[in-house]
Structure 1
Amino acid sequence: MKDQFIYLESCNTCQRIKGGLNLPEDFTLQNTKEQPATEEQIEFLMEQAGSYEALFNRRAQQYRGRNLHEKDLSEADYKELLLDHYTFLKRPILIKDGKAYIGNSKKVVAAAKEAL
């Protein structure tokens, strides 16, 4: 997987982290609203994270909007939802040298900075 930064342009947290990373010019930027993650990307990220559920953003408005919080979702359900709507993917995601840094926790952001 090529070096890239996957984010949502309208997300203030993504913008703040993107600004703090000082990304190299050769990085590919992918705004998930305009260019949703592909099945290949989702599968790569699942291998990195250990499960589709680990990639899933429960803060997405669609999560409650679709009453998903009331359902017992399987890994197949999570994968389908991740491919169905861009807001379900945890973000931002930095991919550097074949390793993915997923989410916005202080620990993940610090590891991503170190990788750069």
Structure 2
Amino acid sequence: MLTIYHNPRCKKSREGFELVKESGQDFEVREYLKEPVTEEELSELLEQLGMAPIELVRTDEKIWKENYKGKDLSDDELVRVMVQHPKLIQRPIVVKENKAVVGRPATKISDLLG
């Protein structure tokens, strides 16, 4: 079963959602702004993505620029910041088994669905 971490207000996330839907595979939707991830979940996602926490941060968001930009934060601190402010998490994230991708560009999702 696939899981998509989705923000329906985000155009890129909606595009990713459509790709997952069109794949015909069973999937569940996690609207992570309504149902936030825990630090443990986010750490597991980062492992599946093969990314460092800073790579998952949306650094153009106002919250980031006003509160965190230029600060030297550890990986654990970055995870806590994203859990506290889920809007900072890149989206969509699609998970299949033990592998995950950020759907930017959406073709990365197609590769995962393969």
Is 1:55 aligned to residue 52 of structure 2? no
- Cα RMSD (Å): 1.9
Q: Greater shift after overlay, 91-100 or 57-66?
A: 57-66
**Unaligned 5+ residue runs, structure 1?**
none
Match of 2:108 in 1: 111
| Post-superposition offset of 1:62 | 0.8
Instruction: Give the Cα separation in 2 of the matches to 1:112 and 1:20.
Output: 7
- Mapping of 1:25-36 within 5 angstroms? 26-36=26-36
Amino acid at match of 1:115: L
Tell me the number of residue pairs that the alignment of Structure 1 and Structure 2 aligns: 111
4+ long deviations beyond 3 Å: none
Judging changes above 3 Å, is the alpha-carbon distance between structure 1 residues 23 and 58 closer, same or farther for their aligned structure 2 residues? Answer: farther
Identity %: 22
| Post-superposition offset of 1:36 | 1.2
Contact 2:2 2:97 in 1 (8 A): yes
CA deviation string 1:16-53 (max 9, x = no partner): 22223425462110111111122232111221323222
Contact 1:8 1:14 in 2 (8 A): yes
Contact 2:58 2:89 in 1 (8 A): yes
Is 1:93 aligned to residue 93 of structure 2? yes
| Post-superposition offset of 1:113 | 0.9
Instruction: Give the Cα separation in 2 of the matches to 1:115 and 1:12.
Output: 20
TM-score normalised per structure 2: 0.82
SS in 2 for 1:43: helix
Contact 1:3 1:98 in 2 (8 A): no
Amino acid at match of 1:101: V
Judging changes above 3 Å, is the alpha-carbon distance between structure 1 residues 53 and 24 closer, same or farther for their aligned structure 2 residues? Answer: same
